[in-house]
Amino acid sequence: MPTPSSTRPLIYKRLLLKLSGEAFMGEAGYGIDMKIVDRLANDVAQAVQAGCQVGIVIGGGNIFRGLQGAASGMDRASADYMGMLATVMNALAFQAALEKTSTPARVLSAIPMPTVCESYIRAKALHHLERGRVVIFAAGTGSPFFTTDTAATLRAIEMGCDAVAKATQVDGIYSADPKTDPNARRYDKLDYATVLTKDLKVMDGAAIALARDNNLPVIVFSILDPGNLLRVLDGSAHATVVKSD
């Protein structure tokens, strides 16, 4: 198992990590790049070894995105269910990558599929976390019209997590896309109201409102730097934190 690079005390002892499906496809543009998945699993393994209890929600955009299917004329509910199934595929791939690092992991799906993985039951998920197992929450909320951002926030609240951390390709929240706007302003801290009123596109509005109503901090950080998840846990990462004033 990887050796953590930090000896600082952890600020967050139980964390919900939100990974995008796009992060899994690397440069391929589609599907799952297991080299990328293995690196991400290595970061999670470091966090577990440091003493953090980790839950994970993974999107499915590298395989199928419900909104795109709906835009092509497909029934929105059917398209969203297809997207949920894509997240199960990603969850199983990530479970395999974690087990290669000797990190125990369980996939719990909001859509029952007992021959593939466990069904989501809150008490069961808490039991796994308390036993040091990484819990990968698959199939979103189990209902259409909800994003995996909302699923991640919901599961974080249900699990009593200290924060939800959204892994992105940039080091925090900006006033505009820093890849296209050189004048984009980066924020170190924000409150929920500012994120919503300025429509900063960190997460969808339902996810931010749910985090606000339950006083759940949202951390946005870059997953591109190996070991950055551990720095999020000890507070040393270059990231943006969204919380109450």
- Please report the domains of the chain, with CATH numbers, ordered by start residue: 14-242 (3.40.1160.10)
Model pLDDT for residues 14-41, shown as the tens digit of each residue: 999 999 999 998 777 789 999 999 999 9
Element (H, E) at 187: strand 186-187
Q: Which pair of tokens denotes residue 77? A: 């509910």
Residue 182 neighbours by CB under 8 Å, 6+ apart: none
pTM metric for this prediction? 0.93
pLDDT at 73: 85
Instruction: Fill in the DSSP letter of residue 143.
Output: S
Q: Is 80 exceeded by the pLDDT of residue 221?
A: yes
Beta bridge partners of 187: 173
Instruction: Fill in the DSSP letter of residue 204.
Output: -
First to last CA, the chain: 38
Higher pLDDT, 5 or 143: 143
Helix residue ranges, H only, 101-160: 122-130, 148-158
Query: What is the C-alpha to C-alpha distance for residues 223 and 226, in angstroms, rounded to an integer?
Result: 7
Query: What is the C-alpha to C-alpha distance for residues 142 and 42, in angstroms, rounded to an integer?
Result: 28
Model pLDDT for residues 170-209, shown as the tens digit of each residue: 999 999 988 899 899 999 999 999 999 999 988 999 999 9
